[in-house]
Amino acid sequence: MSCYQYWDKIKAIAKSLKQYQDTRFQDLPPQEIIPLLDQVEEIAHDRVIDFDSARHILDDEKMNQALQIIRRFYVEMGSQLETAKAQEILESPDPWATLESFHFYPRYQVLVENENKLVKFSPEQKVAFIGGGPLPLTVILLNKLYGARCVSIEVLPTVAQLSRQVIQKLGMESQIQVLEGDENAVKEVDYTVVMVAALAEPKERVFSNLWEALDLNTPVIYRTYTGMRAILYSPVTEKATRGFHKEVMILPSGKVNNTSVLIRKVI
């Protein structure tokens, strides 16, 4: 399929999503979200189109409105699905089985396993994760798979509280702390690794404040979107991460959406 065929398909998807703009995407029931998501990810997970062709589509001004609609859907859809699953976990007699039934659980597991190639996680590691969300799957899996102790940092009070309740329900409160605050909260915790969620915003402020807070040895892993997966969310720019040296990155495969990048502060 040529990039011009994708061009038309992206516009068609945006047009189909536009009907929901009078209401919030978050008001959609989960059973209606997944089919819409599948349409978007059919393009995002394409294995044929190269990065240059993807950039040709995604950087075009004529595509801006369509991308805004799709990206808003992706963000609000993710929040809706995570919040719904978090609440389901709180009411579940088997919270772990409920967690593992989450649509994105297998993808998060592969993503975390990929990131273990960048930084070897272990019980000796203490991870500060910025942008934990209502269902902090990353820190849950870091502890479950590798025994790493974690702090999930979440800026929204109600979201942080829901996340804290999920951790308690899973019986992980001795290993995982949920802290309310923005990226500056890293100054209040002990850590050996810092991770930045793909949706943590605004990127320039986040990395600028981290540069002020961190030493030269601390590994930082951030998640971004590359190639056609950038249809889902704007990629992290070099401008945002100025003051850091990029050491290595791992591209996604299968249905994983995030590229993981290891950086360190430089002077």
Q: What is the pLDDT of residue 3?
A: 58
Provide the pLDDT for residue 195.
98
Q: Measuring CA to CA, which residue among 96, 110, 145 is closest to residue 125?
A: 145
CATH classification number, 3-100, choose in 3.30.470.20, 3.40.50.720, 3.40.50.150, 3.90.1010.10: 3.40.50.150
- Per-10-residue mean pLDDT of the chain, 267 residues long, equals 72 85 66 83 87 84 90 90 96 98 97 98 98 98 98 98 98 98 97 98 98 98 96 96 98 96 97
- Looking at residue 25, its pLDDT comes to 66
Return the pLDDT at 136.
Answer: 98
Instruction: Say how far apart CA 89 and CA 190 lie, in whole Å.
Output: 29
- What is the model's pLDDT at position 34? 82
Residue 24's pLDDT is: 63
